[in-house]
Amino acid sequence: MKTKIFCLSAFFLIAGMIRAQSQPQLRYTVSMPQAAKGKFHISLDAAWFNQDSVVLKMPNWMPGYYQLMNYANTVDSFVAQNINGTPLTVRKTNNNTWVILNKKNSPFRVTYQIQTKRKFVANSFIDSAHAYIVPANHFMYVASMLQLPVQVKINSADQPRFKKIATGLELVKGKTNVFTAPNFDILYDCPILVGDLHELPAFKVRGVPHRFIGYNMGSFDEVLFMNTLQKAIEQGVNIIDHIPFKEYTFIGIGPGRGGIEHLNNTTVSFSGNELKTPADINRIMNFLSHEYFHHYNVKRIRPVELGPFDYDKGSKTTQLWISEGLSVYFEYLMVKRAKIVDRTMFLNNIANNITAHENNPGKAYQSLLQASYNTWADGPFGTSGADKNKAISYYDKGPIVGMLLDLAIRNASNNQFSLDHVMRLMYKTYYQQLQRGFTDAEFQAACEQMAGKSLANEFEYISTTKELDYQKYLGYAGLTLTSTEVEKSGQKKLQYKIGVLPSLNPDQLAILNSWLGD
Ligand SMILES: [Zn+2]
């Protein structure tokens, strides 16, 4: 028996080795000898490619920031060589594609540099104090082989201040500063921050650790800040009623504006020095809640077009008003229900979106579906296209329509169901059960299932430029919209405000209180 077991084990061992060898291997090393000049040095060791030419491609964008970034423009000094150090022929066939001619199954090494210039959440940046690595800006994939596993080694030996690393990538067991991703979609979803990083006191939600690690985070009451953030996060989790990861990390990349969501982390521009007034706390807690809620809404409850991603051309969808606009709506709700802001500030947040939208002439030209689809040309806020007066921002109209839909569902279902239930249903159906993205029609069907009736009229607010009937929907919660004319920068505009009606009937009161968690 013993001999037989040994023989079988030996067979599996050899078979395993053959399998392991035949699987193409990609190992990246990032070095930083020229940090002060804004340069990263990249080397890629590749092996076991059963083909004479290997096509390497740099993505043109990163999921979460729906603009073409043309990361290949930051690449220089691209060289390929075989295991003996002999240069290999490289043909650059377009701006982001390099073809390496090599003998099949022969290991080869590629080196190149990334020149960074601008501190921004959607591109890599390095200086002598820290390094921010956006993997889509750093690591080329092999064409048609995004499914390959990949290793990344961070070599920061040249920079004594680069003491710590924060990333959602998995550490390779037994190794220091070597990380692994099961495929390139996961790699591109896990930015890496390196520097003299500081960690705030972590908290747990339903037993799951939530961490906050960052660079240059300023001086503030860290315990109070994390206690406040925890309350907002708990409200986000309550909406979906499930946590899909073992750990979540907020990665603070330094002062600035902007954040990008990922499956188990988010990279956020952050400075605790800005936490001075209630308005600052409102803005920063809304922002962090928004990025957190995205791990549900867009990373898991996702438009059908957002995965697999087209890293060349961008993945266009008509549903960013859901992914982005409703994440704005739910950020407000998380912060209100956590009692971080009062009812007035919550209503002001939405009224500010109404003011921005109603004063935008683009409202007569572009629907939410069009704004979502055209964002690649119009810019993230609908302000950088050919004619900004004919575009809207789904960050403004999205949360407004989210509120109208929510109030319509609450009213139609006698306050039994809400947009919270729609999101929970979408998560269960499309993420957990079907494991795919959803279509426009499927989102509408989920809303109508919760409302128990057709919402065709309400969905015209999404597919057309029809004027929004605010009073009808706000009335379901005993609220009303008023406006006053104000002058700003020499231009007259209407400033909107949402207030509570003088007297509320029991139905209105029930909707208002359950909606806002009062
Ligand atoms: Zn967002």
> Where residue 85 sits, what CATH number does that domain have?
2.60.40.3650
Q: Is residue 9 part of a domain?
A: no
Q: pLDDT-based confidence at 387, cuts 50/70/90?
A: confident
| Domain shared by 229 and 367, yes or no | no
Which contiguous run of DSSP H or E holds residue 34?
none
Whether the predicted pLDDT of 511 surpasses 50? yes
Q: Of 268-277, 405-414, 486-495, where does mean pLDDT reach its minimum?
A: 486-495
| Domain shared by 120 and 248, yes or no | no
| Domain shared by 351 and 331, yes or no | yes
Cα of 269 vs centre of ligand 1, distance in Å, is 13
Cα of 419 vs centre of ligand 1, distance in Å, is 18
> Where residue 383 sits, what CATH number does that domain have?
1.10.390.10
| Domain shared by 247 and 356, yes or no | no
Cα of 387 vs centre of ligand 1, distance in Å, is 23
Contact 301, 438 (CB under 8 A): yes
Q: Which class for 11: exposed (0-12), middle (13-18), buried (19 or more C-beta within 10 A)? A: exposed
Cα of 20 vs centre of ligand 1, distance in Å, is 39
Whether the predicted pLDDT of 3 surpasses 50? no
192 beta partners: 133, 167
Cα of 442 vs centre of ligand 1, distance in Å, is 21
Q: Is residue 502 part of a domain?
A: yes
| Domain shared by 28 and 156, yes or no | yes
Whether the predicted pLDDT of 324 surpasses 80? yes
The whole-number pLDDT of residue 16 equals 42
Q: pLDDT-based confidence at 18, cuts 50/70/90?
A: very low
| Domain shared by 504 and 360, yes or no | yes
491: tokens are 């231009």
Cα of 363 vs centre of ligand 1, distance in Å, is 21
If you write DSSP's letter for every residue of 353-397 in order, what string do you get? HHHHHHT-GGGGT--HHHHHHHHHHH-TTS-SSS-GGG---HHHH
In eight-state DSSP terms, residue 123 is B
The whole-number pLDDT of residue 8 equals 36
Please, which residues have CB less than 5 A from ligand 1, an ion?
Answer: 324
Cα of 514 vs centre of ligand 1, distance in Å, is 25
Which residues constitute the domain of residue 223? 197-295
The whole-number pLDDT of residue 169 equals 95
Domain boundary, last residue among 154, 170, 194: 194
Mean pLDDT on 244-253? 97
Cα of 378 vs centre of ligand 1, distance in Å, is 16
Q: Is residue 272 part of a domain?
A: yes
Q: Crossing angle for the helix pair 326-337 and 278-293, nearest 10 degrees?
A: 120
Mean pLDDT on 47-72? 96
Neighbours of 252 (CB within 10 A): 28
Contact 101, 89 (CB under 8 A): yes
Whether the predicted pLDDT of 453 surpasses 80? yes
Q: Is residue 238 part of a domain?
A: yes
Q: Is residue 12 part of a domain?
A: no
Cα of 132 vs centre of ligand 1, distance in Å, is 20
CA 7 to the chain's CA centroid: 50
| Domain shared by 381 and 493, yes or no | yes
Q: Crossing angle for the helix pair 278-293 and 343-358, nearest 10 degrees?
A: 70
Mean pLDDT on 457-482? 98
Mean pLDDT on 155-167? 93
More confident site: 476 or 163: 476
Domain boundary, last residue among 242, 270, 295: 295
Cα of 121 vs centre of ligand 1, distance in Å, is 12
| Domain shared by 391 and 426, yes or no | yes
Q: pLDDT-based confidence at 489, cuts 50/70/90?
A: confident
The whole-number pLDDT of residue 338 equals 98
The whole-number pLDDT of residue 287 equals 98
Mean pLDDT, rounded, of the chain: 95
pLDDT in tens, 268-319: 999 999 999 999 999 999 999 999 999 999 999 999 999 999 999 999 999 9
For residue 126, the SS3 value is strand
Q: Is residue 7 part of a domain?
A: no
Whether the predicted pLDDT of 420 surpasses 80? yes
Whether the predicted pLDDT of 512 surpasses 50? yes
| Domain shared by 277 and 358, yes or no | no
| Domain shared by 243 and 181, yes or no | no
Cα of 297 vs centre of ligand 1, distance in Å, is 9
Question: For the chain, what is the domain count?
Answer: 3
| Domain shared by 93 and 63, yes or no | yes
ipTM of this complex prediction, to 2 decimal places: 1.00
The whole-number pLDDT of residue 21 equals 55
Which contiguous run of DSSP H or E holds residue 440?
helix 440-451
Domain boundary, last residue among 250, 273, 295: 295
Cα of 261 vs centre of ligand 1, distance in Å, is 7
> Nearest Cα to 425, choosing from 409, 412, 414?
409
| Domain shared by 232 and 249, yes or no | yes
pLDDT in tens, 360-376: 999 999 999 999 999 99
The whole-number pLDDT of residue 384 equals 83
CA distance 299 to 47: 32
